[in-house]
Amino acid sequence: MLSDLAPMTLTQLTAADLNRCAVWEIRGLTDATAEIWPAPNQVLTEAEPRVFVAATDFVFADGSTAVGFCSPSDPSGLDYTQPVVFLGDAQIPLWVEPTPSRAEVEATWRRHGKSISEVFPIGFACHVPVDGKALSGVIRFEDLSLDR
């Protein structure tokens, strides 16, 4: 029940929270200070002025899977969808600014027991449609705009 879920920060969101509520509204100016609230939305629209994150499934190059979230209302690029993967209790953002180096990205995944070739390309599919369309696609290592 949504009324059982309390607002929190985006960094406190867990896979279990997404299982209980697939859509969360972001309220605030920055991800660091914004609160997120459970939202009753079962569908989203690009015309919506509010910002949401929604449960998303990820499939790594090695066939393993993870859950996470993205902001699907503007699917024009990673800088808008800002996908995040959960591995255990860790949130791993697939889009960060400033852009990390290749070595930093490799180190992040290595800490979680994966090489870049086991991770990328990553398939993803958001659980919540936007304007009646499912958001899905592939994230390639080069999509991260890394300094290679």
Query: What is the reported pLDDT for 1?
Result: 53
Q: Is residue 147 part of a domain?
A: no
Q: Is residue 132 part of a domain?
A: yes
Domain housing 118: 2-139
Q: How far apart are CA 139 and CA 94, in angstroms?
A: 9
Question: Is the sign of the CA dihedral 10, 13, 17, 19 positive or negative?
Answer: positive
Q: Is residue 144 part of a domain?
A: no
Q: Is residue 145 part of a domain?
A: no
Q: Is residue 65 part of a domain?
A: yes
Q: Is residue 93 part of a domain?
A: yes
148 pLDDT higher than 50: no
Per residue in 42-86, pLDDT (tens digit) is: 889 998 889 999 999 999 999 999 999 999 988 888 989 999 999
pLDDT band at 26 (very low <50, low <70, confident <90, very high): very high
**What is the total count of domains within the chain?**
1
Q: Is residue 94 part of a domain?
A: yes
29 pLDDT higher than 80: no
Among residues 120, 64, 69, 126, the alpha carbon closest in space to that of 92 is found at 69
Q: Which residues pair with 137 in a beta bridge?
A: 124
Q: How far apart are CA 49 and CA 73, in angstroms?
A: 10
Q: How far apart are CA 117 and CA 32, in angstroms?
A: 31
Per residue in 81-119, pLDDT (tens digit) is: 999 999 988 999 999 888 888 899 999 999 999 999 999
Q: Is residue 63 part of a domain?
A: yes
Query: What is the value of pTM for the model shown?
Result: 0.91
Per residue in 129-142, pLDDT (tens digit) is: 999 999 999 999 98
Query: What is the reported pLDDT for 31?
Result: 65
